[in-house]
Amino acid sequence: MDAIVGFDRSLFYLLNTQLTTTFLDILMPFITQKSNFIGVIIFGWVLLILVGGWKERKALIIILFVILISDLSASTLKDIFQRIRPCAELMNVRLLGGCGGSYSLPSSHATNIFAAMVYLSLHYYRFSPIFLTLAILIAFSRVYVGVHYPLDVVAGAFLGTFIALIFVKAEERFSPYLLDYYKRLKAGN
């Protein structure tokens, strides 16, 4: 276990202090901040509700549950593992923003974004390169800005992917029933 922790710290220092550029110093704090995307998310949400069909509306509702469950799962695991963030325990960390108040493992950002983007990728295949690139960038940003170890974001990516797959399987099983219910609602029965 000590070897894994040592490797994780070494990789953190490499990504956080060695492989840095001015461009990434500007981009990564922007990407890592959820509030920078609220307007785009709300606009996209409203647009899909207004012009989307059954598939889009169903996906929007399920995405809410995917993110809720992934966030709850990550928070629960953080309390179990109680791993201190690198910005709170290591020396010479390049901290490009606040350190955060919760524990580190797994990264909630990585868990949430991978859950949402993997779910969307499995429904909208042609956009999956965009969705997965965004998920990787956001997960990487957490290490780059100094608030998570690489293992934290990898664990978050696996957890988020697992949650997305569970929801996709559940949706496959129950979707015919939901579609029938949706059609009856539209027909007014």
- At 143-181, the pLDDT tens digits run 999 999 999 999 999 999 999 999 999 988 877 666 666
Could you tell me if 94 and 142 are in contact, meaning their C-beta atoms sit under 8 angstroms apart? no
- What does DSSP assign to residue 95? -
Q: Which two tokens stand for residue 20?
A: 């840095």
Residue 134 Cα distances to 46, 113, 122, 169, angstroms: 21, 8, 15, 23
* Domains detected in the chain: 2-187 (1.20.144.10)
Tell me the C-alpha distance between 117 and 138, whole Å.
11
Integer Rg of the chain from CA:
19
For position 60, what pLDDT does the model report?
Answer: 86
Locate 123 and state its tokens.
Answer: 């429904």
CB 131 within 8 A of CB 164: no
Q: What is the pLDDT of residue 34?
A: 82
Q: Specify the amino acid at residue 132.
A: L
Using DSSP's 3-state secondary structure scheme, residue 84 falls into: coil
Q: What is the pLDDT of residue 38?
A: 78
58-116 tens-digit pLDDT: 888 888 899 999 999 999 999 999 999 999 999 999 999 999 888 999 999 999 999 99
pLDDT at residue 25 above 60?
A: yes
**Among residues 149, 167, 162, 144, which one has the least CA distance to residue 78?**
149
Q: What share of the chain is helix, strand, coil (3-state, %, to 5)?
A: 80, 0, 20
The whole-number pLDDT of residue 181 equals: 64
Rounded Cα distance between 84 and 135, Å, is 23
What pLDDT shows up at residue 40? 72
Tokens of 44: 């996209």
Q: What is the pTM of this model?
A: 0.88
Low-confidence winner among 1-10, 53-62, 152-161 (lowest mean pLDDT): 53-62
- Res 187 pLDDT > 80: no
User: CA-CA distance, 155 to 161, in Å (whole number)?
Assistant: 10
Please tell me what DSSP assigns to residue 35: G
pLDDT band at 46 (very low <50, low <70, confident <90, very high): confident
Alpha-carbon gap, residue 142 to 135, rounded angstroms: 11
pLDDT category, 189, cuts 50, 70, 90? low
Q: Are 89 and 146 in contact (CB under 8 A)?
A: no
pLDDT at position 188: 67
Query: Which region among 126-130, 133-137, 173-177 has the lowest average model confidence (pLDDT)?
Result: 173-177
